[in-house]
Chains A and B, each alone.
Chain A
Amino acid sequence: MARNSNRPLSPHLQIWRWGPAMLISILHRATGTILSIGGGVMLIAWLVALASGQDTYAQFMDCMLADEGNALQVGGLNIIPFIILFGISWAFFQHMGSGIRHLVLDIGAGYELHTNRFWSIAVIVGAAVATIALWALILAR
């Protein structure tokens, strides 16, 4: 589409002071995309490996789990699968929290400035705490 470059533009992201409400909105979209692609690929790979039989599943788990004596590992997981799974788990808690927030906003509640700000911050902090708690639980076993 032809545009006249002399025309004024409306102010965009870089001109606003960042606040919790805009951060959580952007995180909702970012974590949704991470879950769709990262979570989708991991889920399909796991299910297909499982359905393909014992040998294929063993190969899949071999990519995930660290060899004996490998320093680049976290709780038995290779470092790269650990980072991917940790990221997916954080994206899951963040997206679920902001998703619940959206369902509440959809019924018309939670638009007062301080309420909105409180729940925006609460979701971000809650997702971080839930992610750390989940991995503490997994790694403690």
Chain B
Amino acid sequence: MGTGTGIGRVRGLGSAKSGAHHWVVHRFTAIGNLLLAPWLLVSLVRLPDLGFETVTAWLSSPFSAVAMLLFVVSTFWHLRMGLQVVIEDYVHDEGNKFASLLALNFSVIAAATLAVISILKIAVTGGAA
């Protein structure tokens, strides 16, 4: 292993092996979003009103609850990966990058969990407080 040039330092080490995984999962979740986001938009526009009873009745049906859960998982996974790339592109200082990615992961996982618990509660109780 050489020490002079960049290519000399990495030659023979092989690829990181997991580089394509991020790219592929970003596409998988993109296609998931492509199915689920129009479903949510059409469902909301078709509701007669956005009052509490109407929305909880709609969201407590098994089909709506499952589609909404999948929507949250797909979009939050996708946005976590997208914002990670943005951070990696613009935050060059290693310490700041580490802190930004930590904050991103914590906030996305917390937000998605909040959404999942909310959907499950509505699905199980039908909105009754």
Contacts and interface: CB of A to CB of B under 8 A. Distances in A.
Contacts of A50: 52, 55-56, 59, 118, 122, 127
Interface of B is mostly: helix
Interface stretch (B1-9, B12-20, B78-86): B78-86
Interface of A is mostly: helix
A54 B86 contact: no
Contact of B117 (A51, A57, A92, A102): A51
B60 to A, nearest CB: 10
Given A50-B127, A51-B117, A92-B37, A57 B52 contact: yes
A40 B45 contact: no
Interface residues of B, number: 32
| Interface size bracket, A side | 20 to 34
B53 to A, nearest CB: 9
B129 interface: yes
A43 B111 CA distance: 10
Interface in B106-129: 111, 114-115, 117-119, 121-122, 127, 129
A47 B118 contact: yes
A99 B34 contact: yes
A103 B129 contact: no
CB-CB nearest 7 A-B residue pairs:
A53-B129, A51-B118, A36-B79, A47-B118, A51-B121, A57-B52, A32-B82
